[in-house]
């Protein structure tokens, strides 16, 4: 998976990668040439007392060293730029893929896992690529070159390499094999910590309201302890690796000095050659240590790449049409024909054989008990999910054939849980229409009964006021009713042909609810309005009321008609109103 991910994202950077390889080759060859020069200085200059040779070879060493430094700096510079660019591209790819997901795929992965995959997992791959450009490219060149140069200094002494290098290789491979499953578990437990922390921050009010502070603290401590446990196991293996490698390196150095001294004593080797051989041995073993460090990173990066690829290879269940329809003939007409929906792995359908027609200039209300499928039905219209049976038609065209941009312009959805983005009131409202003027925004706020509180926002020491008043992430600095009204205003700014209100008035008091619905009726007189509501007073004046029960339509008609012949609707109404109020 790691190779596949890199193969798909690195091709645009072939030129800088080629330059990195060239710079690393030059600097490694320079590093390999320096011990030979040092040996020549000792044997031809120091031993013989020839100062001229020392100065000449010293000048060459300085030149070679400067070339090595320049190439090393250049390789690190271009390597860092390429690795960071790769991380940027992978994050963008993950983000773009997630944007295509329907609610089904988002529910499968979960927000905490997607955040970890987009940030921490990408960072692991990015770090591996950076180290590959700065260390891994140089390691094999230095290892092979070091062996060749060591053979050039003394062949018999080079036999020590036949024992040292395989021992290091086997040691590294054994430790790397044990690390890989630990890194996978570590990433999964990091997901768990993120999920628990996200839940606790989001649900802090619920935790305090039910005095669950101790329970949630224990839950976080447990998730944190599990992550700590696997991290410690990984850390122990990593801690073992370097001492083990250094032990082999030091033992090899002692062996070279021992046997090298005997070779010098017998006249088979010069002092300079021994010094150079020892330097080459250190270079060979350092290259193995660099490879060791890479092997420590590779298992974790492989796991991260698998998790990233899982997102990138997941196809959305809401596929864009191959030949999209870009123009509607019947504006504002919404129809469901035998629509059904079942979640993956579920035993039963959430919706079954739903037939519904909503026309321009009419208000269609949907009511039913909790879990009857009202929100799911509304989500099918803008293709947050696709039907698993039947059809959803907008303007007489199946939504699966419509151009996504056209469908988005045609529909204005106010979700059950309105979400506001960090920014200002104006920036949130212009999500509906980026070109809306301030007058358009104030008009929408007035219809949504939000003008009064928006005018007061930010006047008491806050930065900005009115439309420029700050909005915290998720709308945390405004009340639930204010969030709902701002979400309604955002939909009104869009001026769509079809309005979908998913229980969007539940947090409003009765007087505000009544005033908003009256203003909304005038504003949307020529549009199609579909309202999902639990509150009977919100929908009793609708032109058509559709009653859902366990995913099926069990009644359609006006309030008066349904009160007479639909037991399910009558039961819902009488749970909220008296007989006299219901008949009024």
pLDDT in tens, 414-458: 988 888 888 899 999 998 888 889 999 999 999 999 988 888 876
CB contact set of 509 (below 8 Å; sequence gap of 6+):
481
> Average pLDDT in the 309-313 region?
90
Q: Average pLDDT, whole number, for the chain? A: 85
More confident residue, 144 or 377: 377
CB 548 within 8 A of CB 377: yes
Give which of 492, 571, 503 is closest to 532, Cα–Cα: 503
The one-character DSSP state at 41 is I
On the 0-12 / 13-18 / 19+ scale of CB atoms within 10 A, 182 is buried
Give which of 215, 227, 284 is closest to 32, Cα–Cα: 284
pLDDT in tens, 49-92: 778 888 888 888 899 999 999 999 999 999 999 999 999 999 99
Angstrom CA distances, 48 to 42, 45, 267, stand at 9, 5, 17
In angstroms, the CA 129 to CA 308 distance is 15
For the residues of 218-277, what is the DSSP string, one character each?
HHHHHHHHHHHHHHHHHHHHHHHHHHHHHHHHHHHHHHHHHHHHHHHHTTSS-HHHHHHH
On the 0-12 / 13-18 / 19+ scale of CB atoms within 10 A, 463 is exposed
Angstrom CA distances, 25 to 80, 250, 276, stand at 17, 27, 20
Please name every residue paired with 341 in a beta bridge, in sequence order, or none if there are none: 351
% of the chain exceeding 70 in pLDDT: 97
Give which of 189, 190, 191, 220 is closest to 204, Cα–Cα: 220
In angstroms, the CA 243 to CA 568 distance is 75
Please tell me whether residue 463 adopts helix, strand or coil conformation: coil
> Average pLDDT in the 518-532 region?
89
Report how far Cα 41 is from the mean position of its chain's Cα atoms.
57
Angstrom CA distances, 170 to 131, 241, 245, stand at 22, 12, 11
The one-character DSSP state at 361 is T
Give which of 484, 563, 471, 546 is closest to 520, Cα–Cα: 484
- Give the number of other CB atoms < 10 A from CB of residue 33: 18
In angstroms, the CA 383 to CA 399 distance is 7
Structure tokens at 508: 């409003």
Backbone phi, psi, residue 473, to 5° = -55, 130
> Average pLDDT in the 292-309 region?
80
> Average pLDDT in the 93-98 region?
92
Backbone phi, psi, residue 314, to 5° = -80, 120
On the 0-12 / 13-18 / 19+ scale of CB atoms within 10 A, 439 is exposed
CA dihedral 249, 252, 258, 259 (to 10 degrees): -150
pLDDT in tens, 240-267: 877 877 787 788 878 878 888 887 777 7
In angstroms, the CA 150 to CA 80 distance is 32
In angstroms, the CA 376 to CA 343 distance is 10
Angstrom CA distances, 332 to 143, 321, 335, stand at 72, 21, 10
In angstroms, the CA 57 to CA 563 distance is 105
DSSP E strand boundaries for 409-485? 411-414, 423-424, 470-471
Whether the model pTM is above 0.75: no
Q: What is the pLDDT of residue 492?
A: 92
Helix (H) or strand (E) holding 506: none
In angstroms, the CA 403 to CA 409 distance is 10
CB 22 within 8 A of CB 250: no
Report how far Cα 118 is from the mean position of its chain's Cα atoms.
3
pLDDT above 80 (res 24): yes
Q: For tokens 């600097």, what's the residue?
A: 27
Q: What is the pLDDT of residue 460?
A: 47
pLDDT above 70 (res 383): yes
Q: For tokens 């995959």, what's the residue?
A: 117
In angstroms, the CA 280 to CA 260 distance is 13
For the residues of 431-442, what is the DSSP string, one character each?
TT-TT--HHHHH
Report how far Cα 25 is from the mean position of its chain's Cα atoms.
36
Q: For tokens 């031993």, what's the residue?
A: 47
Q: What is the pLDDT of residue 461?
A: 42
On the 0-12 / 13-18 / 19+ scale of CB atoms within 10 A, 422 is middle
CA 35-40-43 angle, to 5 degrees, is 120
In angstroms, the CA 115 to CA 261 distance is 60
Angstrom CA distances, 354 to 374, 391, 562, 565, stand at 11, 9, 18, 20
In angstroms, the CA 558 to CA 541 distance is 8
More confident residue, 380 or 39: 380
pLDDT in tens, 457-468: 765 444 456 888
């Amino acid at each position: 998976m790691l190779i596949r991910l890199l193969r798909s994202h690195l091709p645009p950077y072939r030129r800088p990668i080629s330059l990195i390889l060239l710079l690393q080759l030059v600097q490694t060859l320079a590093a390999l040439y320096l011990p030979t020069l040092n040996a020549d200085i000792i044997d031809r200059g120091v031993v013989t007392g020839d100062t001229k040779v020392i100065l000449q070879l010293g000048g060459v060493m300085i030149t070679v060293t400067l070339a090595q430094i320049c190439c090393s700096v250049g390789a690190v510079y271009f390597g860092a730029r390429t690795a960071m660019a790769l991380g940027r591209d992978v994050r963008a790819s993950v983000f773009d893929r997630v944007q295509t997901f329907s609610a089904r795929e988002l529910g499968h992965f979960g927000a905490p896992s997607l955040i970890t995959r987009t940030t921490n997992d990408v960072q692991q791959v990015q770090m591996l690529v950076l180290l590959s450009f700065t260390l891994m490219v140089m390691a094999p060149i230095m290892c092979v070159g070091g062996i060749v140069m060591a053979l050039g200094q003394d062949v018999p002494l080079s036999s020590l390499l036949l024992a040292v290098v395989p021992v290091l290789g086997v040691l590294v491979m054994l430790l790397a094999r044990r690390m890989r499953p630990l890194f996978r578990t570590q990433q999964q437990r990091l997901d768990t910590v993120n999920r628990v922390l996200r839940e606790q921050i989001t649900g802090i009010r619920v935790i305090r309201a039910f005095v669950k502070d101790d329970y949630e603290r224990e839950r976080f401590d447990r998730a944190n302890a599990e992550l700590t446990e696997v991290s410690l196991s990984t850390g122990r293996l990593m801690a073992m690796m370097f001492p083990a490698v250094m032990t082999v390196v030091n033992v090899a150095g002692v062996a070279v000095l021992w046997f090298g001294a005997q070779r010098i004593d017998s006249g088979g080797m010069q002092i300079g050659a021994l010094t150079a051989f020892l330097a080459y041995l250190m270079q060979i073993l350092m290259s193995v240590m660099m490879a060791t460090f890479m092997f420590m990173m590779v298992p974790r990066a492989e796991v991260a790449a698998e998790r990233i690829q899982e997102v990138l290879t997941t196809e959305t269940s809401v596929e864009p049409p191959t030949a999209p329809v870009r123009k509607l003939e019947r504006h504002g007409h919404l129809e469901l024909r035998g629509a059904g929906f079942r979640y993956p792995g579920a035993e039963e359908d959430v919706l079954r054989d739903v037939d519904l027609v909503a026309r321009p200039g009419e208000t269609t209300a949907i009511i039913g008990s909790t879990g009857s499928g009202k929100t799911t039905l509304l989500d099918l219209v803008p293709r947050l999910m696709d039907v698993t049976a039947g059809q959803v038609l907008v303007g007489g065209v199946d939504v699966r054939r419509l151009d996504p941009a056209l469908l988005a312009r045609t529909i204005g959805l106010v979700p059950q849980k309105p979400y506001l983005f960090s920014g200002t009131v104006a920036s949130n409202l212009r999500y509906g229409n980026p070109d809306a003027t301030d007058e358009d925004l104030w008009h929408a706020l007035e219809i949504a009964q939000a003008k009064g509180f928006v005018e007061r926002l930010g006047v008491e020491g806050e930065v900005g006021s009115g439309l420029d008043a700050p909005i915290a992430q998720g709308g945390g600095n405004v009340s639930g009713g204010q969030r709902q009204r701002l979400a309604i205003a955002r939909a009104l700014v869009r001026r769509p042909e079809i309005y979908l209100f998913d229980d969007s008035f539940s947090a409003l008091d009765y007087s505000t609810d009544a005033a908003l619905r009256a203003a909304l009726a005038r504003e949307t007189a020529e549009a199609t309005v579909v309202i999902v509501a639990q509150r009977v007073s919100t929908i009793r004046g609708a032109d058509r009321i559709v009653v859902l029960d366990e995913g099926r339509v069990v009644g359609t008609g006006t309030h008066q008609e349904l009160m007479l012949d639909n037991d399910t609707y009558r039961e819902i109404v009488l749970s909220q109103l008296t007989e006299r109020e219901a008949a009024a």
